[in-house]
């Protein structure tokens, strides 16, 4: 058994409503449970960050499907690496869209990365994506 973690960022191609997010999560959770994939999806103002964990072949297959999804674009793979254990083991797909920037400003390592999503920012702030995801790990 070879576990991997993959993290990517992308930008929505259309306005994503709360109902859209619920539909995405319902489908993702059903698929991920069957494929033994765990992870976390962060969404804010048209910007996605997703961490995916599981067997390498399953993670790769899911990421290939995600890249083909027309609801978002400008995908950037932040990292894909082997892991010893899952960080989101309790999440078939955890989710957060409530990132109150003011409540994080005094936190060490704070980043306003998700307030300025753009393809140009992706390359410059890959480390900040990892820091942000770490805030949601259990």
Locate the domains of the chain by residue range.
3-134
| Higher per-residue confidence, 108 vs 123 | 123
Strand (E) or helix (H) holding 7: strand 3-12
* Domain 3-134 grouped into CATH 3.30.70.100: yes
- Dump pLDDT digits (tens) for 19-73: 887 788 888 888 888 999 988 888 777 888 888 999 999 999 999 999 999 999 9
- For strand 3-12 and strand 47-55, is the pairing parallel, antiparallel, or unpaired? antiparallel
Residue 36 confidence (pLDDT): 92
Q: Are 118 and 42 in contact (CB under 8 A)?
A: no
Average pLDDT value for the chain: 75
Q: Output the six-digit token pair for 6.
A: 């993959």
Residue with the larger pLDDT of the pair 44 and 14? 14
Whether the per-residue pLDDT at 97 is higher than 60: the answer is no
35 close to 93: Cβ distance less than 8 angstroms:
no
pLDDT above 90 as % of the chain: 30
Question: Are 113 and 132 within 8 A, CB to CB?
Answer: yes
Q: Is the pLDDT of residue 138 over 60?
A: no
CA distances from 38 to 14, 17, 51, 115, 120 (A): 26, 23, 8, 26, 28
pTM for the model: 0.69
Alpha carbon distance 62, 53 (integer Å): 10
Q: What is the Cα gyration radius of the chain? A: 14
Predicted pLDDT of residue 115? 53
Asked if residues 6 and 51 have their Cβ atoms less than 8 Å apart, the reply is yes
Q: Is a pLDDT exceeding 70 seen at residue 112?
A: no
Residue 16 has a pLDDT of 83
Q: Which residue has the higher pLDDT, 55 or 92?
A: 55
Which pair of tokens denotes residue 49? 């960050």
Distance CA 110, CA 105 (A): 6
């Amino acid at each position: 058994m070879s576990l991997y973690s993959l993290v990517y960022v992308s930008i929505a191609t259309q306005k994503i409503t709360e109902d859209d997010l619920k539909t995405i999560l319902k489908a993702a959770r059903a698929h991920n449970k069957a494929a033994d994939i765990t992870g976390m999806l962060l969404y804010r103002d048209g910007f996605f960050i997703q961490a995916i964990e599981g067997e390498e072949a399953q993670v790769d297959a899911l990421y290939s499907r995600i890249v083909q999804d027309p609801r978002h674009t400008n995908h950037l793979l932040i990292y894909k690496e082997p892991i010893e254990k899952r960080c989101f083991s309790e999440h078939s797909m955890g989710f957060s869209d409530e990132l109150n920037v003011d409540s994080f400003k005094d936190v060490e390592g704070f980043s306003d990365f998700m307030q300025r999503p753009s393809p140009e920012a992706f390359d410059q702030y890959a480390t900040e994506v990892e820091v942000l995801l770490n805030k949601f790990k259990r």
